[in-house]
Each structure stands twice: as C-alpha cells, then as structure tokens.
Amino acid sequence: MKIKKTSRREAMQQMGLLAAALCSLPLASCGTPGKESAVDAATTIAPIPFLIPPNASLEVGPLGSNMRTLIRSAQTNTQFSCVEAILAPKKIAGSPHKHDRLDELMYVLEGTASVLMDDKVVTVPVGSWHLRPRGIVHVVWNSGNENLRLIDMYFNQNFEDYLEELYHKIIPEVIERKISFEDPGIAKRVAELDKKFGLTYYPEQSQAIVEKYGLS
C-alpha cells in the first residue's frame, strides 16, 4: 500500500505544536547547572510573529542533496531553527558525526530515512518524527528509490548557519574550482566550521554503511 505524502502545510502545523511543547519543558540538556537555562532565558521575551509563505519545491543539488532555511534561530529568540532538506536516492548525508550542544528533531515529508544511532539503525518512514539528542554518533541516508525530503529542527544552536556556509558557499566553491574537500584551504574552512559548532566526525565509519546499503 502506498503511503500518502504529507503536505508541507500539515508538516509545519505539526512541527509548530511539537516545538511549542518541547520548548516549554525544563529539559536538563537545555541549560547549564547553576545558570538560567537557554529555554528560560529565551522565553522571557516573546518572539515576533512571522509567516512562512509557500515555496517552490526544493530541488536536489549537484552532489545529491540540498537544503534551505525555513526558520532562523534569530526569529525565535534562539529557541529553535528549522530547515527543509532533500537527499537523492542511494545517498548518505555526510559522515557519521556527533554534536556537543545541538539536539535535532526530524520530520519526514517524503520517502524513508535511515538513521545510524551509535551502533543501531533506525528506519523513519514518511509522516514520522525522530529525535537525535546531542552526544550520539549519527548519520542519515536514503537507501530508497525516491527522494528523501524532510524537515529538521535544531534546538539550542543556530545550526542553520553551519549548513548555509557549507551548502551555499563551500560546496559551490568546490564545484566551481573543480577541487575536492581534501584541498588544504577547503579542509581548513570545514575544520574551523566544525570546531565552531561543536561537531566531531567519524569518516572511518562511512564505508561500511555505503557498502551495506548500496549508497554512493
């Protein structure tokens, strides 16, 4: 039986409700002992209302993926931000990695996501939510035959800025100059970006996933 694709409007409505619920909880991960939590500090001033208008469909980029920011952390007093992302069939979204400060909440709009969570693989079908807390080694891939389209929400960090630097500046430069990510200048920029946002990558774990699931 074919599962009906979730509309962007329905996804945004569900996302807003869940985000509101999460941001109201006094989660230990959102604060530092002895200090006012990030959630408490952010909710002392109400965000300014905003509307997200409909957009044309997000197209797959030249490397098999793409993203665009829907909500910036600056619009929500740093409570959360949100992006839409797309991943072509048989593609993996980078290498396994972990975040020091970022908690991620994913909603699948189309396709089925596979997610490595430490040593386990979780299947996330269309219409499902998946939370990836900080400190867990993870990576997302698309082992299906259709595009994987999802909404990713970021709590406690302006991670949309990381993705925009990577997708809108570094990747286009790599393509335009016909160089690889091993280029010394590019590698330095990526390493500085990873350090700034508290990411640690484990590229040695990628090959086993690529071979097992027939990815490229």
Q: Express each pLDDT in 30-74 by its tens digit.
A: 444 444 444 454 446 788 899 999 999 999 999 999 999 999 999
Asked whether residue 1 is assigned to any structural domain, the reply reads no
Asked if residue 35 belongs to a domain, the reply is: yes
Assigned domain for 173 exists: yes
Domain assignment of residue 38, yes or no: yes
- For residue 45, what pLDDT is reported? 77
173, pLDDT greater than 60: yes
pTM for this entry = 0.80
Residue 3 covered by a domain: no
Looking at the DSSP bridge assignments, the partners of residue 132 are: 104
Query: Which residues of 51-202 form beta strands (DSSP E)?
Result: 65-71, 80-87, 91-92, 97-99, 103-110, 113-117, 120-124, 129-132, 138-142, 148-155, 199-201
98 inside domain: yes
CA angle 34, 39, 45 (to 5 degrees): 115
Containing structural domain, residue 158: 10-213
> Quick check: is 5 in a domain?
no
Least confident among 10-14, 95-99, 166-170 = 10-14
Amino acid at 170: I
Domain presence at residue 29: yes
Q: What is the CATH number of the domain that holds 122?
A: 2.60.120.10
Please give the tally of structural domains in the chain.
1
67-86 average pLDDT score: 95
155-182 exposure pattern, b = at least 16 Cβ within 10 A, e = fewer: bbbbbbbbbbbbbeebbeebeeeeeeee
